[in-house]
A and B are shown apart, each in its own frame.
Chain A
Amino acid sequence: MAESASVPAIAPLRRGEDRPLPSIRRRQLREAAIRGVITLIALTGIAAVVLIFVFVAREALPLLTDPEVRGEASFGKLFLPQVLRPNRPPGFMWQPVSGVPKYSMIPLFVGTLKVTAVSMLVSVPVGIAAALFASEFAPPRLREVLKPVIELLAGIPSVVLGFFALMVMATWLQSAFGFSFRLNAVVAGLGLALTVIPVIFTVSEDALQAVPRAYREASLALGATRWETAFRVVLPAAAPGVLAGVVLGFGRSIGETMIVLMASGNAAITSWSLGDSVRTLPATIAAEMGEVVFGGAHYSVLFFIGVELFLFTFVLNALAAGFVKRLVRRMSGGKA
């Protein structure tokens, strides 16, 4: 029985020895094709990023090349204080639709910075603490509920969060803190934090979960408490992942448009008070792009704002990547 079965099995093997290539070559071809397709898809992603940047930068280029646009919005006018009204100290003003258009970037920078700072100040501690709790302290049953619920927060459309911030949070915060502006940097920043917390939480929680069990066991065996283990051992070991979450959250925060457009009041005030209304870079693009004269100075300035936002996130990502690299090297080899 066994012999009769082995006879036909030898025959195809012999045939294979005569011409060993077809099946192998077919496999190689298929491998190459798959590799090609995957590379192409990856390159499409990169190409999209590069092309978007090139397009946005090209629309902002008249700021450098077109004399008419430069006359209206030179870099001095964008960044240095200007005389706005006679007999008043020079200041910064964003008022593009005007007899003499004013394109100062400073109030927009200050506004973006204030909103982003408020949202990060709230969401970094809350997001990381929540991740630490869910990963290290929560009973498994609670964690199973906690994680999807917080992640659901990331799925709420930002218009809805903006509406909530505008109608509900603004009123609460004004009656609690007595802001003279109902819509201000704090309201917008807290609204933003609602979208940033789940980003930081999700990425950090995954990073904490990925820390090997042996670290915790070793730490506990050496007599550390659960809190010491979580804070001094697990969190540092997961630091690169946690930092990646913070950077992602920052990117979300600086670029988020809808919540800020609805809840910040959109007044281009140059002040450090968090109770003042603010106008941010992305909200300015969203509010004004619909109506600008195609190819004019205002149009180019709005695209220039796009370039700035692009550069901010790019530089921050690069800094974070370098920092993570150093951190990993120090923790794994101690070479620093």
Chain B
Amino acid sequence: MKRMLLALAALAAAVPALASAAVTVKGSDTMVILAQRWAEDYMNRNPGKKVQVTGGGSGTGIAALINGTTEIANASREMKADEKAKIRERYSVLPTEIPVAQDGVALYVNESNPISQLTVDQLHQIYVGDLTNWKQVGGPDQRIVLYSRENSSGTYVFFKEHVLKGDDYAPAAQTLPGTAAVVNAVAKEKGGIGYGGAAYAKGVKELKVVGKDGQAYAPSAENVKSGKYPLARPLFMYTRAKPAGEAKAFIDYCLSPEGQQLVTKVGYFPIK
């Protein structure tokens, strides 16, 4: 009887321990597919461990990290200074930034579009609304229909900083809730142009972008890794303090050769 009680007590103590063993990962929609693959593979290799992955956008993930509702935040952009300050204010530690993969922001156009390359400057003019017809960049006489992402997206911010140089998107840019929605829209719209992760481009044409050396580069693995493709960006995981325990084990796995192999499979580019 006594032994049974003891066993029960041990079980009762173990249940919350098991429940708290789940590592929560939240953030960038760009990284959701990748993070989910990682989590599945990690849980297969380590039975009994749990990793929960949700999306919502880089801003959402970082907000959750600040509010303490997630342990790891995925972000497709660097943390802003005021976000870092908030973490220091609340937890008196500086957040740790861990680059886990590389991504090229690809530009999609409809497959019927004869244009195959653009310069960053042309992209700038197209997206602020100065160029409104494809014939102005050497294409057919067709109106350019702009697709953009919602402003909670890390890709939105990245594109705004690196292509628009901080200028505003043209009001005519349609904002869609996710890269898949952008790809889908461009696939159906002859004059459409959109941007998003290179992993998503199915049914649309990816544009080459002219780099600093005057040559056009496709968002391919080598061009992104070598930095020749002008619109490449690192993907990050953020933790509040130095990662420890379960979170550290998961991040270590992501950076391991097995984890980085999955990065390639999903369509991004390994960091190592």
Question: Which residues of A are in contact with B by a Cβ distance under 8 Å?
Answer: 84-85, 93-99, 102, 107, 170-171, 180-183, 261, 265-270, 276-277, 279, 287-288, 290-291, 293-294
Task: Let me know if B53 is at the binding interface, CB within 8 A.
Answer: no
Docked CA distance A243–B132 (Å):
45
A182 CB contact (under 8 Å) in B59, B145, B157, B172? B145
Docked CA distance A84–B169 (Å):
11
Docked CA distance A169–B171 (Å):
24
Q: Which of B42-50, B183-191, B197-205 contacts A (4 or more CB under 8 A)?
A: B183-191
Q: A291-B57, A291-B59 in contact; A267/B189 too (CB < 8 A)?
A: no
Indicate if the CB atoms of B176 and A266 lie closer than 8 Å: yes
7 sample A-B contacts, Cβ–Cβ < 8 Å, listed by A number? A93-B171, A95-B168, A170-B188, A181-B145, A276-B172, A287-B175, A288-B152
* CB interface residues, B 115-158, toward A, < 8 Å: 143, 145-146, 150-152, 156-157
Q: Smallest CB-CB separation from A287: which chain B residue?
A: B150
Instruction: Encode B159-196 as 1/0 by CB contact (under 8 A) with A.
Output: 01000001111011111110000000100110110000
Q: A171-B188, A182-B189 in contact; A93/B168 too (CB < 8 A)?
A: yes
Q: Smallest CB-CB separation from A180: which chain B residue?
A: B143
Nearest-CB distance from A98 to chain B (Å)? 6
Indicate if the CB atoms of B171 and A290 lie closer than 8 Å: no
Task: Let me know if B63 is at the binding interface, CB within 8 A.
Answer: yes
Nearest-CB distance from A182 to chain B (Å)? 5
> In the complex, which residues of chain A have a beta carbon less than 8 angstroms from the beta carbon of B150?
266, 287-288
The 3 A-B residue pairs whose C-beta atoms are closest, nearest first, are A291-B152, A291-B59, A265-B174
Task: Let me know if B56 is at the binding interface, CB within 8 A.
Answer: yes
Q: A180-B145, A290-B60 in contact; A98/B174 too (CB < 8 A)?
A: no
> In the complex, which residues of chain A have a beta carbon less than 8 angstroms from the beta carbon of B56?
290-291
> In the complex, which residues of chain A have a beta carbon less than 8 angstroms from the beta carbon of B172?
267, 269, 276-277
Give me 6 other A-B pairs in contact (C-beta within 8 A), A266-B176, A291-B63 excluded. A95-B151, A266-B174, A270-B171, A291-B56, A291-B57, A291-B59
Q: A171-B188, A290-B60, A291-B60 in contact; A97/B174 too (CB < 8 A)?
A: no
Question: Which residues of B are in contact with A by a Cβ distance under 8 Å?
Answer: 56-57, 59-60, 63, 82, 143, 145-146, 150-152, 156-157, 160, 166-169, 171-177, 185, 188-189, 191-192
Q: Smallest CB-CB separation from A91: which chain B residue?
A: B171
Docked CA distance A180–B190 (Å):
10
> In the complex, which residues of chain A have a beta carbon less than 8 angstroms from the beta carbon of B176?
265-266
Q: A266-B175, A267-B175, A291-B59 in contact; A84/B168 too (CB < 8 A)?
A: yes
> In the complex, which residues of chain A have a beta carbon less than 8 angstroms from the beta carbon of B82?
293
Nearest-CB distance from B247 to chain A (Å)? 23
Q: Smallest CB-CB separation from A100: which chain B residue?
A: B168
> In the complex, which residues of chain A have a beta carbon less than 8 angstroms from the beta carbon of B173?
267
> In the complex, which residues of chain A have a beta carbon less than 8 angstroms from the beta carbon of B63?
291, 294
> In the complex, which residues of chain B have a beta carbon less than 8 angstroms from the beta carbon of A181?
145, 174
Indicate if the CB atoms of B59 and A267 lie closer than 8 Å: no
Docked CA distance A302–B175 (Å):
17
Q: Smallest CB-CB separation from A270: which chain B residue?
A: B171
Indicate if the CB atoms of A290 and B152 lie closer than 8 Å: yes
Q: Smallest CB-CB separation from A104: which chain B residue?
A: B171
Nearest-CB distance from B250 to chain A (Å)? 25
Docked CA distance A117–B21 (Å):
53
Indicate if the CB atoms of B152 and A287 lie closer than 8 Å: yes
Docked CA distance A249–B167 (Å):
40
Docked CA distance A98–B156 (Å):
10
From B151, B166, B167, B189, name the one whose CB has the most chain A CB atoms within 10 angstroms. Answer: B151
A97 CB contact (under 8 Å) in B151, B185, B188, B191? B151
> In the complex, which residues of chain B have a beta carbon less than 8 angstroms from the beta carbon of A266?
150, 174-176
> In the complex, which residues of chain A have a beta carbon less than 8 angstroms from the beta carbon of B177?
261, 287
Docked CA distance A102–B170 (Å):
12
Docked CA distance A96–B157 (Å):
12
